């Protein structure tokens, strides 16, 4: 998911690494506290109430807890500045963490699916669920939905793809709690297969979410570029720079939540080298101020006024 942001004079859109790290830490610790309470409650009550679906939901919450600490770990390392071995900084640490989180969720989901299938193959082993399980599901549903809305608001404010992924993970838990609740109601109404069936669905949801996060992170690690809208916005910023007569060969690649950009700009061939350099510096500064660009490398091409068209047209 990409964040497209339009610059306005009335909006403070500055997202410093310190501000981003502080917001990430706060929201993640809140999520961790909620998931600790939910996972312990769901697993214990699920075991007492004989609900495989509730136990599966508790394991899901436990995977959230692990994910929260992955986010904290990644956020801490991603905010480190550039060094000799990492001249572009450590922003891709978040992408690597997203990949690890995806693999974790995929493994947990597949394990839940396998356990549920074993239960469905032996209906006689399915016990009657206690009504207490239904109350815990209702509590988890409310808590997860509230957590999702809180985390998504912070993620959008600080423009963090990793926090967005973690917020939607919380939403998937809310959906899974709803499915588990329906399974428990079915069990209480005399349809015992519905409880392990709910566990099967929850496991499938977790596995799907893990595959999605992992695939997105894998593409980013393979230098996936920005979408066309964002590239065109960067092109427009370059063209609006005084002295830039044309732009071509814009290439982008993701670096965590930021972009690294290469671009050829055309300037009047009669300008001195120093003037051309100054135009390129101004163009770079404007892009870095208006877009989520970590670095812009410009190549200056000559444009001849007699030609009537930019050199790269």
All structural domains of the chain, each given as residue ranges with its CATH number in brackets, are 17-221 (1.20.1510.10), 228-307 (3.30.70.1350)
pLDDT of 28 strictly over 80: no
Residues 6+ apart with CB under 8 A from 131: 49, 188
As a whole number of angstroms, the distance between CA 144 and CA 241 comes to 47
User: What integer is the mean pLDDT of 9-21?
Assistant: 60
Question: Sign of torsion, CA 11 15 16 20?
Answer: positive
Lowest mean pLDDT among 6-10, 66-70, 180-184, 195-199: 6-10
Closest to 220 (Cα-Cα) out of 105, 99, 82, 102: 99
Which range has the top average pLDDT, 153-157, 253-257, 304-308?
Answer: 153-157
User: What integer is the mean pLDDT of 259-282?
Assistant: 92
Question: Which tens digits make up the pLDDT trace of 147-205?
Answer: 888 888 888 887 777 778 778 777 777 777 888 888 888 888 888 888 888 888 878 87
Decide which of 78 and 176 is more confident.
Answer: 176
Collapsing DSSP to helix, strand or coil, 7 comes out as: coil
Question: Which tens digits make up the pLDDT trace of 82-128?
Answer: 667 766 666 677 778 778 888 888 888 888 888 788 878 877 667 77
pLDDT of 270 strictly over 50: yes
Decide which of 129 and 128 is more confident.
Answer: 129
pLDDT for the residue 6? 46
pLDDT for the residue 82? 67
User: What integer is the mean pLDDT of 219-243?
Assistant: 88
């Amino acid at each position: 998911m990409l964040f497209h942001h339009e610059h306005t004079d009335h909006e403070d859109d500055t997202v410093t690494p310190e501000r981003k790290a502080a917001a990430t830490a706060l929201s993640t610790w809140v999520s961790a506290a909620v998931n600790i309470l939910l996972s312990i409650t769901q697993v214990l009550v699920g075991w007492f109430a004989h609900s495989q679906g509730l136990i599966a939901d508790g394991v899901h919450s436990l995977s959230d807890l692990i994910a929260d600490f992955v986010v904290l770990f990644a956020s801490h390392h991603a905010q480190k500045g550039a060094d000799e071995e990492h001249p572009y900084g450590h922003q891709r640490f978040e992408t690597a963490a997203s990949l690890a989180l995806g693999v974790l969720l995929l493994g947990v989901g597949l394990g839940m699916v396998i356990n549920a299938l074993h239960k469905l193959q032996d209906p006689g082993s399915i016990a009657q669920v206690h009504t207490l399980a239904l109350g815990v599901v209702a509590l988890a549903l409310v808590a997860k939905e509230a957590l999702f809305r809180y985390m998504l608001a912070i993620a959008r404010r600080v423009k963090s793809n990793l926090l967005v992924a973690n917020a939607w993970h919380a939403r998937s838990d809310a959906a899974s709690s709803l499915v588990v609740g329906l399974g428990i109601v079915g069990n209480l109404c005399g349809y015992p297969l519905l409880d392990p069936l709910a566990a099967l669905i929850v496991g499938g949801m977790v596995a799907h979410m893990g595959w999605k996060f992992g695939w997105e992170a894998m593409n980013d690690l393979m230098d996936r570029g920005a979408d066309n809208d964002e590239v065109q916005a960067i092109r427009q910023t370059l063209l609006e720079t005084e002295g830039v007569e044309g732009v071509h060969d814009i290439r982008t690649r993701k670096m965590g939540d930021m972009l690294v950009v290469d671009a050829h700009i055309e300037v009047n061939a009669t300008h001195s080298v120093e003037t051309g350099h100054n135009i390129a510096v101004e163009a770079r500064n404007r892009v870095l101020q208006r877009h989520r660009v970590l670095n812009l490398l410009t190549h200056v091409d000559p444009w001849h006024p007699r030609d009537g068209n930019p050199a790269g047209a």
